[in-house]
Structure formats: structure tokens, C-alpha cells
């Protein structure tokens, strides 16, 4: 007798693809259809991802939850998720992100099925992480060893499965066929000087200000170096972009630094860069890192969190502590002073990036869920 494929109901609290957590969700839906799991998706906010899921042929429901303080609405959505789980005879309700576990957890209890959830950020002992962890769950999927250690400090302790995120490496195939010089010309960037770049939303913990502080020391030895920052403003930190621009003026770098804002064609902008910096503070994973590595770029990343688990210093990249501008300048100068080291690290990075494909990620994620579901 053939065993039925388990149905897993995914609860997604966002509808628009704004960051890494949403990118991972889209990759799972795209590449996680190998026949081992049947997905049902509940979105609690509307957005482009709702239609994307439906276009993939996945059973998709929209149950708007409203604001956090609208408790009656939230309770109604939890009951609706539980009712759907019973009707569709799901094997598990899975919360995507910590916020959705506050709905997936109680819905699973009402439906009488197991729950699990994805800790896509770096957990802290705040009220949301504590509440989410309180709800019974078969386990928590974490995306780095650093995240696992942080989650383990929150009571009660839940079983964990480490699943490294993947990068949609195929997005970079076209960019790889274009030279950096051609990419610069197409994007209207200055053709001269080494170009140091960063990609990410303009948030302080991402460390753009540290790169700016490091530039004067770098330009003292390599006067033609330029910098490029690709990323839009982050709504909770509306003042940070202006702070960066004031910093640029104070350092006399107005003709050196380009703020490109949000860009949809990240691969092409990244291909224009000679060195890619990812200077975040304990980044939970940092998908930008394997993306840059896939292009064969010399990368410098933060010395803590997920990037430190991806990069072997001196082999396929370099590391520098958060907000340590002298250390970042020193790492940049190692590449600029020694082009052969930069080329060697870039070549090794390209090979290392293959370990973080979206296909591998989706397969490992399904393995984790099936391990909790059992035979």
C-alpha cells in the first residue's frame, strides 16, 4: 500500500517579498515540489507572493489578520487556520517566521496536529520570541549555528534542525557573462578605480556607516577607489539614509560614494563591483554573501553570525568585526594590495557558493520536516 504524501500547511505573515525570509519562502515553493510533501499556504497579508503561490499551482488561502492589537480578528484567523487544517487533513502546521508561530502554534493545538516553525532571524529573549517558543512544537528550523545557540537560550527548549538558506544562483548566470566594466557602463557608473560595493536595506545593523569610515584609510593608499551602496530605506529607520549622506559629506567623499537606492536587478549591480562588503552585526545568515560568491567576487563579511559559517578566512573570503572600521580597511587593503589573493578568494568563493543553492536548501528543509513527522 502506498503511503500518502503528508500535507503541510504553511502560515506566512507577509504578502510582499521584502527581505531574506520572504526570499527563502519563495524558493521553497519554487523548488520544494519534489513530490515528498504537499503544500497548502495561508497568507495573513495580501501581496504579490499570494498570486505567485497560486501561479505555481499551490493551494493558497488569504486570511487577513489585521494589526496585532486587533485580537478578535487574530483569534478568528487562528480558528480558521485550525478549521482548514482539519478539513484538509494536514500532517503539520508550520509557522514561517516567529510572528506566524503565534498563530500557527495555537491553530495546531486546536486542530490536534503537530506544529513547527522557522526562526528566520536572530532570536532575542523579547516577548515575541518567548511567546512563540511557549506554544508546543515538534521543533524549530534555524538558519545558522549562531541562531541555534541564541534560540537554545529561550525556554522552553525545543528540538532544532539547522537548514542553511539558499541563494537563487541561477539569477546570476546572465550577470556572470557580462564583464564588470560592461556592467558599470550599462549602469552609468564611473569606469575608473576599484569599486567596493554593499547590497542591503539601509539599516544601521547592516554596517554601511562602517564602510564609509573605512574608506579614507583605503583611499590613502589607493586614491581611485570608489564605493557603491545598493539598497532602499528601511521604514523603521527613516533617518539612517540621511545620516549616511551627512557622513559622506563630512568625510569629503561626495564624489566617491554612490547611493543607488533599491534596485531590482541586483546581480548586474553586484557584477559591477570589484569587492563586495557585507558588514552586518551578527547577520542571521546573509544571502548576499553566497550571491556575491557565486559571481566570483572577493567578499568581506562580518566576523560573527551566519557569514562566519560560510566563509573560511583567507580561502574564500575575509572577515571583519562589526563597526571595526580599521579592521575593515585592513581587509580591503589586503585585496587591493594583493590582486592575486583577491582572484584566488574569488575563484574559491565561486566553488563554495554551490553549497548554497536554492535546490539544496529546499531539499534540506523538506528533510527536516519529514524527520519530525516520522514514518
Residues 73, 153: one domain?
A: yes
Task: Tell whether 136 and 251 lie within a shared domain.
Answer: no
Examine the domain organization and report whether 187 and 55 are in the same domain: no
pLDDT in tens, the chain (375 residues): 455 899 999 999 999 987 889 999 999 999 999 999 999 999 999 999 999 999 999 999 999 997 767 789 999 999 999 999 999 999 999 999 999 999 999 999 999 999 999 999 898 878 999 999 999 999 999 999 999 999 999 999 999 999 999 988 888 988 999 999 999 999 999 999 999 999 999 999 999 999 999 999 999 999 999 999 999 998 889 999 999 999 999 999 999 999 999 998 999 999 999 999 999 999 999 999 999 999 999 999 999 999 999 999 999 999 999 999 999 999 999 999 999 999 999 999 999 999 999 999 999 999 999 999 986
DSSP 292-313: HHHTT--EEEESSBTHHHH--B
Query: What pLDDT score was predicted for residue 273?
Result: 98
Instruction: Identify the domain containing residue 237 by its residue range.
Output: 169-355
Q: Are residues 206 and 275 in the same domain?
A: yes
Residue 261 is inside which H or E element, if any?
strand 257-261
Residue 229 lies in a domain: yes
Q: Are residues 231 and 267 in the same domain?
A: yes
Residue 57 lies in a domain: yes
Residues 364 and 288 in one domain: no
Based on the structure, what is the number of domains in the chain? 2
Say yes or no: 150 and 180 in one domain. Answer: no
Same domain, residue pair 366 and 300 = no
Please tell me the distance from the alpha carbon of residue 328 to that of residue 321, in angstroms, as a whole number. 8
Check: CB of residue 159 under 8 Å from CB of residue 138: yes
42 shares its domain with 176: no
Residues 291, 308: one domain?
yes
Beta strands of 71-155 (E only): which ranges? 92-96, 115-119, 139-142
Strand 257-261 with 59-62, pairing: unpaired
117 with 365: CB under 8 angstroms? Answer: no
Tell me, yes or no, whether 2 lies in a domain: no
Is 324 within a domain?
yes
For the domain that residue 32 is a member of, what is the CATH number?
Answer: 3.40.50.2000
From residue 120, give the alpha-carbon distance in Å to each of 142, 149, 163, 186: 7, 14, 10, 35
Q: Same domain for 107 and 196?
A: no
Looking at residue 45, the DSSP 8-state letter turns out to be S
Length of the chain in residues, anyone?
375
Residue 128 in domain: yes
Which helix H or strand E contains 107, and what residues bound it?
Answer: helix 98-111
For residue 90, being part of any structural domain is answered with yes
1, part of any domain: no
Whether residue 271 lies inside any domain: the answer is yes
Residues 351 and 362 both lie in one domain? no
The answer to whether the beta carbons of residues 268 and 183 sit under 8 Å apart is yes
Amino acid at each position: 500500500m502506498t503511503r500518502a504524501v503528508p500535507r503541510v500547511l504553511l502560515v506566512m505573515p507577509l504578502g510582499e517579498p521584502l527581505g531574506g525570509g520572504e526570499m527563502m519562502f519563495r524558493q521553497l515553493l519554487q523548488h520544494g515540489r519534489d513530490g515528498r510533501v504537499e503544500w497548502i499556504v495561508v497568507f495573513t497579508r495580501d501581496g504579490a507572493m499570494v498570486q505567485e503561490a497560486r501561479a505555481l499551482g499551490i493551494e493558497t488561502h488569504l486570511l487577513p489578520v489585521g494589526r496585532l492589537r486587533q485580537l478578535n480578528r487574530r483569534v478568528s484567523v487562528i480558528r480558521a487556520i485550525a478549521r482548514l487544517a482539519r478539513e484538509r487533513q494536514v500532517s503539520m502546521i508550520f509557522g514561517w517566521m516567529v510572528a506566524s508561530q503565534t498563530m500557527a502554534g495555537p491553530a495546531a493545538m486546536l486542530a490536534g496536529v503537530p506544529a513547527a516553525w522557522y526562526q528566520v532571524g536572530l532570536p532575542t529573549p523579547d516577548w515575541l520570541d518567548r511567546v512563540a517558543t511557549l506554544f508546543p512544537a515538534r521543533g524549530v528550523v534555524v538558519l545558522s549555528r549562531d541562531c541555534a545557540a541564541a534560540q537554545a537560550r529561550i525556554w522552553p527548549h525545543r528540538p532544532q534542525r539547522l537548514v542553511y538558506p539558499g541563494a537563487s544562483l541561477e539569477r546570476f548566470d546572465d550577470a556572470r557573462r557580462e564583464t564588470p566594466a560592461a556592467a558599470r557602463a550599462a549602469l552609468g557608473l564611473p569606469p575608473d578605480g576599484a569599486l567596493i560595493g554593499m547590497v542591503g536595506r539601509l539599516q544601521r545593523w547592516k554596517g554601511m556607516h562602517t564602510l564609509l569610515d573605512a574608506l579614507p584609510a583605503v583611499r590613502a593608499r589607493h586614491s581611485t577607489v570608489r564605493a557603491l551602496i545598493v539598497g532602499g530605506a528601511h521604514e523603521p529607520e527613516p533617518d539612517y539614509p540621511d545620516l549616511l549622506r551627512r557622513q559622506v559629506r563630512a568625510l569629503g567623499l561626495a564624489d566617491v560614494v554612490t547611493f543607488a537606492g533599491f534596485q531590482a536587478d541586483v546581480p548586474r549591480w553586484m557584477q559591477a563591483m570589484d569587492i563586495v562588503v557585507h558588514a552586518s552585526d551578527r547577520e542571521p545568515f546573509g544571502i548576499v554573501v553566497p550571491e556575491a560568491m557565486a559571481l566570483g567576487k572577493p567578499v568581506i563579511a562580518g566576523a560573527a553570525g551566519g557569514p562566519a559559517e560560510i566563509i573560511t578566512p583567507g580561502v574564500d573570503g575575509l572577515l571583519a568585526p562589526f563597526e571595526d572600521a580599521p579592521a575593515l580597511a585592513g581587509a580591503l587593503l589586503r585585496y587591493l594590495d594583493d590582486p592575486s589573493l583577491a582572484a584566488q578568494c574569488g575563484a574559491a568563493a565561486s566553488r563554495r557558493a554551490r553549497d548554497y543553492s536554492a535546490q539544496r536548501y529546499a531539499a534540506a528543509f523538506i528533510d527536516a520536516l519529514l524527520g519530525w513527522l516520522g514514518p
